[in-house]
Structure 1
Amino acid sequence: MRIGIIGAGAMARALGGGWAAAGHEVVIGARSRVAADELAASIGHGARGESIGAAAEFGAVVLLALPVSALDEVLGEIGGSLAGRTVIDCTNAFLPDAAAPEGVLAFVLSEDAVAARIAATVPDAHVVKAFNVCAAEVWESESRVFENSRLAVPICGDNADAVRQVAVLAEDLELQPISAGGLHRAKYLEATSVFTVGLWFAGADARAIFPPLAAAFAVAD
């Protein structure tokens, strides 16, 4: 699969490196061509650096691995190139929680629905929310099974073919894709991320608040 990655930071390295190693064609696009070339060289497996526009044109799938603050400018530049393409949004709009007690590192969202904004900005693209719950270091790690369960990737999107593409890409990273509903549900995925990451930074085990599937139950009202 041809994958264009917009950004040259930790998420671009983690996901792009895994996909290149799995045999996908990867092009890194960044404002700095030097940064794009350096990241591509470190990834290897035939990855190469290009401009942002060239990476967007190249990818049948395009990963937005950017700070949320850069999205408007970048999408204004490449939006027309994304028509008909699967666009993966792995971003998180995190800000420090100024109301947290002194000494506690916690986060809030600077906006409630980044994926929805991206979809409204590039309405002809097939936007999929995925890979936003865990830090880049988790995706880059070789560890994939925890407490006998494979690490999962919730996926939100409206286009079935695009969701299937992203599910395949998750499987290629030895992750378990989970269909989490339409793109309107991505805001809940973004909220889950800010909440659980805050728990981890506070030293709490976010996994401990959820029972395993075998022990989970509920009665419909």
Structure 2
Amino acid sequence: MRIGILGTGTMATTLGGAWVRAGHDVLVGGRNRAAAAATAARIGAARHGSLADGATHGDIVLAAVPADVAPELVKGLADILTGRTVIDCTNPIVPTDDGLVLSTGGVTSIAQRMANAAPGAHVAKAFNLCHESIWTLPLPVFEGAPLAVPFCGDDPRSLDQVAALITSMGCTPVPCGGLSRAVYVEATAAFAIGVWWSGAEARFAFPTPAQAPQNP
């Protein structure tokens, strides 16, 4: 699969590295070509270039930039991104005295804002729930089960692409519905990260159905 990455930071490096290990054709695109070249070298990608190069290269394009930058970034590349699958991995969370909150107010999502900014692109939300270090693992399996990766979007073909990409990483795709559900995926990240920061385990709030008592 051809994947273009927009950005040169931590998520670009860790997710891009996971995709290179999975055998995908990855191009790192950045505003700074030297930074793009350095990121590409770190992950073993054969190619790097400008943001436009990243958008042009990918059947799938990852927006790996800060949440508040992502909508404007894809707006500037809207013509190139038309018809392509664009993955939003951002978390629009900010710390407050009451804990982490969504900078969007929880009434929309960054993924939806990206879709509005580049209406010809097929935006999907994915890869935002885990710390970036998870994507450096050769195979993300925990307690004998592959990592589950929630994702959502509106275009069936793009959702199939994202599911195949997740599977290629040794993970389990978890479809969560249309792009309107992205706001809940982002809120889940704010909740889970806040729990982790408090020193607790968010997973213990969600017992599996097999472990729950059965109704008489």
Does the alignment reach a TM-score above 0.5? yes
Cα distance in 1, alignment partners of residues 4 and 153 from structure 2: 19
Q: What residue identity is the alignment partner of 1:9?
A: G
Cα distance in 2, alignment partners of residues 156 and 11 from structure 1: 19
Deviates more, 1:137-146 or 1:116-125: 137-146
Q: What residue identity is the alignment partner of 1:26?
A: V
After superposition, the C-alpha distances for 1:33-92 in whole angstroms (9 at most, x for unaligned) are 111000101111x43210001110111110001101222432232111100000001011
Residue of structure 2 in register with 1:16 after alignment: 16
Shift of 1:146: 1.8
Cα distance in 2, alignment partners of residues 213 and 39 from structure 1: 42
How many residue pairs were aligned? 212
2:39 equivalent to 1:39: yes
Contact 1:20/1:47 (CA < 8 Å) preserved in 2? no
Cα distance in 1, alignment partners of residues 128 and 57 from structure 2: 23
Shift of 1:215: 2.5
2:176 equivalent to 1:180: yes
Change (3 A) 1:53 1:70: same
Change (3 A) 1:67 1:162: same
Q: What residue identity is the alignment partner of 1:40?
A: A
Cα distance in 2, alignment partners of residues 210 and 30 from structure 1: 39
Aligned pairs for 1:113-132 (under 5 A) are: 113-132=109-128
Q: What residue identity is the alignment partner of 1:153?
A: V
Cα distance in 1, alignment partners of residues 190 and 213 from structure 2: 25
Cα distance in 2, alignment partners of residues 161 and 144 from structure 1: 25
Normalized against structure 2, the TM-score is what?
A: 0.93
Aligned pairs for 1:149-168 (under 5 A) are: 149-168=145-164
Contact 2:86/2:124 (CA < 8 Å) preserved in 1? yes
After superposition, the C-alpha distances for 1:78-131 in whole angstroms (9 at most, x for unaligned) are 11110000000101101012x23xxxxx31110131111111111111111000
Cα distance in 1, alignment partners of residues 148 and 71 from structure 2: 29
Residue of structure 2 in register with 1:208 after alignment: 204
SS at match of 1:68: coil
Residue of structure 2 in register with 1:84 after alignment: 83
Shift of 1:218: 9.1
Residue of structure 2 in register with 1:199 after alignment: 195
Q: What residue identity is the alignment partner of 1:86?
A: T
Shift of 1:139: 1.7
2:101 equivalent to 1:108: yes
In structure 1, stretches of 5+ residues that fail to align are 101-105
After superposition, the C-alpha distances for 1:15-41 in whole angstroms (9 at most, x for unaligned) are 111111211111111111111000101
Shift of 1:141: 2.2
Question: What is the aligned-residue identity percentage?
Answer: 46
Change (3 A) 1:134 1:218: farther
SS at match of 1:124: coil
Contact 2:71/2:113 (CA < 8 Å) preserved in 1? no
Cα distance in 1, alignment partners of residues 71 and 55 from structure 2: 15
Cα distance in 2, alignment partners of residues 168 and 71 from structure 1: 24
Cα distance in 2, alignment partners of residues 188 and 168 from structure 1: 23
Cα distance in 2, alignment partners of residues 217 and 60 from structure 1: 45
Normalized against structure 1, the TM-score is what?
A: 0.91
Residue of structure 1 in register with 2:56 after alignment: 57
